[in-house]
Amino acid sequence: MVSDLASLPPRLLFICTANRCRSPLAEQLMRRAFQRLEVDALVASAGLLTGGFATPSVGVRVASNHGLDLTRHLSVQVGARLVEVSDLILTMTREHAREIVALAPDAWARVYPLKQFTELTDSITLPRRANFRDAAVMVGEARRVNSILGNPSYDAVEDPMGRPTQVWEAVLADLSTHIDRVARSFAPLLRRSHQ
């Protein structure tokens, strides 16, 4: 169970609809950010739909232009076990967050829409000594369950599926901004907990 995972590096999970566009881009961006910051964490992505599908060629091309490799990516469908073992689950929309909470209600405190999470991390100071999962929960301690109701566009990451290159570029830029903010917020904590 979760207590057996305490000695493992923190696990971050990104969720989108099909795990073909946004969440695999977010996964790649977070891995690169953590590598640059020299922190040890496991990063994965999954989707709500059936897995086994590749990223569209336009997405592979845009990712490649930014040093990301999605050539061998195949989508994965999220399950309750993957949610259970993840210390932080970041979704592309509020709807995705609701679906994850419906799948695994006990995960509520660790599930956030990505943009909501970065907004919350900007307004707090993480404790000097805390494990990653506890810190992820602390970010939203004052948050209410209704904070994931509705589907406003301002805190959703746009879905580029079936869209032209410029939309993919805009989505990648949007994700990069938020991923960098999360990585910088948690990097000092991750370095301390695994030295």
Catalytic residues: 16, 22
Q: Is the dihedral of CA 97, 101, 104, 106 positive or negative?
A: positive
**Quick one: DSSP state of residue 44?**
E
For residue 55, give the nearest of 41, 69, 42 by alpha carbon: 69
Does residue 136 contact residue 126 with C-beta atoms inside 8 Å?
no
Q: Which ranges constitute the DSSP H helices of 2-43?
A: 22-36
Structure token digits, residue 115? 């943009």
Three-class DSSP category at 191: helix
Does residue 23 contact residue 75 with C-beta atoms inside 8 Å?
no
The C-alpha R_g of the chain, in whole angstroms, comes to: 16
